[in-house]
Chains A and B, each alone.
Chain A
Amino acid sequence: MVLDIRNVHVSLGSTPIVHGVGLSVAAGELVMLLGPNGAGKSTLLKAVSGDAPARGEIFVSGQALADWCPQALSRHRGVMPQRVDINFPLTAEEVVRLGLSAKSPGRADELVEHLLSDLEISHLRHRLVPGLSGGEQQRLQLARVLAQIFDTEGDRLLLLDECTSALDPAHQQLVLQRVHRLAREQGVAVLAVVHDLNLAAQYADRLVMMRAGRCVLEGAAREVLTPEVLDAVYGFQARVVELPEGYPLVIPLGQTRAQTAPLKPVCRQAS
């Protein structure tokens, strides 16, 4: 397993947010974390990225997170935060280069060009970041994170916190296709927090549903995205249609109750 989380608890200040979560991601697997606002998805991701103090065990490539040398870890684990605000006049290219360690200048140029054009932002290369749109900045951050782990030998882990939140539908598809391809072709393990259920259904190998700081269900899209589960976890009614492409499509039909209402038992517990 590239990522192995066992019985992890996270508190922010004195408020417990994540309660005893266990989860693993294998090489080449794209796992998406789902759940309503405040379910603890981003906090769990922060525990893995080292930004939130966690109790329990987190292993990356079989080695406890705390035992990693920061420099080495940064070559194996790329982290894309929910937001990055830059208010200094850095160019897009300079931001991507921040992700590169000591690589030969020729190789670095080639890599920057490849990543920028792959995410369709090579025309922004010399533009100042504060002047870019939210979606452009989001793709730029992804390019920077990918640069960080691009040439690494061995296990690689990519943590994405709502990496498509500022993107238009076409670029959401583009970004997730790239991430999916990275997992398939290069064996990168990906753990991503998403809100868009249909994007999750389309791209994830496995979905993990969280509610109130716990993982309540884990499985393939057609097992997790059912009207019963969506009602129990999110509190809305939905019609779920099986598409000929092989994944379900969720059509929301309206909110049925407040999300703070007591949780109905979820039909199937994670195996």
Chain B
Amino acid sequence: MMTPSGRLDSTPALLILGSAALAVALVSVSSGAYPLSVADILRVIAGKEAADPVASMVLLEVRMPRFLLGFLVGAVLAVCGAVLQGLFRNPLADPGLIGVSAGASLAAIAVIVLGNTWLGGWLALTGDWALPIAAFTGGSLTVLLAWRIANRSGQTAVATLLLAGIAINAVAGAGTGLLTFYASDEELRSLTFWTMGSLGHAGWDDLVLGAPFMVLALVLAPWLARPLDAFLLGESVVGHLGYRTDTVKKVAIVVVGLGVGAAVAVSGLIGFVGLVVPHLVRQVLGASHRVVLPFSALLGGTLLVAADSLARVVVAPAELPIGLMMALIGGPFFLALLLRTRVM
């Protein structure tokens, strides 16, 4: 069950995590303002009539899309976190920390607030896809910016990266503030959704809009596994081992831009998943990205769905924004991580 280096083998880990994911999925779709019985859930999934006719509607129209979206967003955020940490060779890198989420959300908010005025042309051009595409573009541009600033003569300066992240977050925050200032009451309601993160409005529409980008990011990510392992030895070693360093970086930037951009577009700002999940996986299963990437996806999805179920029950019948919930869990964890790591 354990490897000689004291890690959990990946097969039992997959069994444990897989069972946990199933259990969480079941809890997530059954609990809420209208509780569903397991028997009804199984019957609806099997395509039969449920004993309770409302159950079928609640499950298919409300709970299922929310569960699927939550799982996908959690998986994507965790994988993007792992990719960035490998790329920057720093376990503390996170889409939120280097401003990628803020950039994506600024673009999304710009579309909400300026969609009827300055960005009318954008909306006409992209239609229903205006938001995810804008969020994706905003996310990609910020990854690129942080990368450019932190990279001097082939070396990523970690301190510069984090400072750049603070600056990018500040600028994006100021932009968001400015837009908030101009927003109407109705737009403000949507804005709050972005800044606190929520799966509360999740429906099949969101899934159709966001899933293609997120799935694409998840499909591209495994290609990065081996080169990212090489990145752990240093950027120059990537080239020595025969990988095209620039191509690897570009694919990584596209993966993070696609994934985080789409995740922010459908669920707003959800922090710390990208930081906490890969770290946990590395502690238990090791740092090889061929393990870290798939298990981060599985654990990230499970954790976010679990947090979402919790967010629905702690203050029922109201619900806490999921971003808030994750920050409540992730914040203290991040502090503990800082205390343990000491050297940055």
Residues of A whose CB lies within 8 Å of any CB of B are: 12-13, 49-51, 70-75, 77-79, 81, 84-91, 94-95, 98-99, 101, 125-128, 144-145, 148
Contacts and interface: CB of A to CB of B under 8 A. Distances in A.
B153 A13 contact: yes
A-B residue pairs, 9 tightest by C-beta: A74-B242, A126-B5, A88-B287, A126-B4, A71-B242, A79-B240, A51-B236, A89-B287, A91-B5
Chain B CB within 10 A, most for which of A13, A88, A99, A127? A88
B244 A70 contact: yes
B237 A81 contact: yes
Given A84-B233, A98-B229, A128-B5, A70 B287 contact: no
A30 B301 CA distance: 54
B283 A89 contact: yes
B271 to A, nearest CB: 22
A97 B290 CA distance: 13
B264 to A, nearest CB: 27
Contacts of B242: 70-75, 101
A148 B233 CA distance: 14
B200 interface: no
Interface in B234-278: 234, 236-237, 239-244
Nearest to B4: A126
B282 interface: yes
B295 to A, nearest CB: 14
Contacts of A144: 233
Contact of A50 (B5, B153, B239): B239
Given A12-B153, A13-B153, A127-B5, A84 B237 contact: yes
B215 interface: no
Contacts of B236: 49, 51, 79, 81
A85 B235 CA distance: 11
B89 interface: yes
B173 to A, nearest CB: 30
Nearest to B247: A70
A94 B288 contact: yes
A88 B228 CA distance: 12
Given A79-B236, A125-B4, 13 more contacts: A49-B239, A50-B240, A51-B236, A70-B244, A74-B241, A81-B237, A88-B89, A90-B288, A94-B287, A98-B233, A128-B5, A144-B233, A145-B240
B91 interface: yes
Contacts of B154: 51
B286 interface: yes
Contacts of A98: 229-230, 233, 241
7 contacts: A70-B244, A79-B240, A84-B233, A88-B89, A90-B232, A91-B5, A98-B229
Nearest to B238: A70
Given A74-B241, A75-B242, A79-B240, A86 B233 contact: yes
B335 to A, nearest CB: 19
A242 to B, nearest CB: 39
A191 B141 CA distance: 42
B86 to A, nearest CB: 8
Given A51-B154, A87-B91, A94 B286 contact: yes
Nearest to B6: A126
Contacts of A78: 240
B240 A49 contact: yes
Nearest to B344: A87
Contacts of A51: 154, 236, 239
A89 B286 contact: yes
A88 B241 contact: no
Contacts of B229: 90, 94, 98
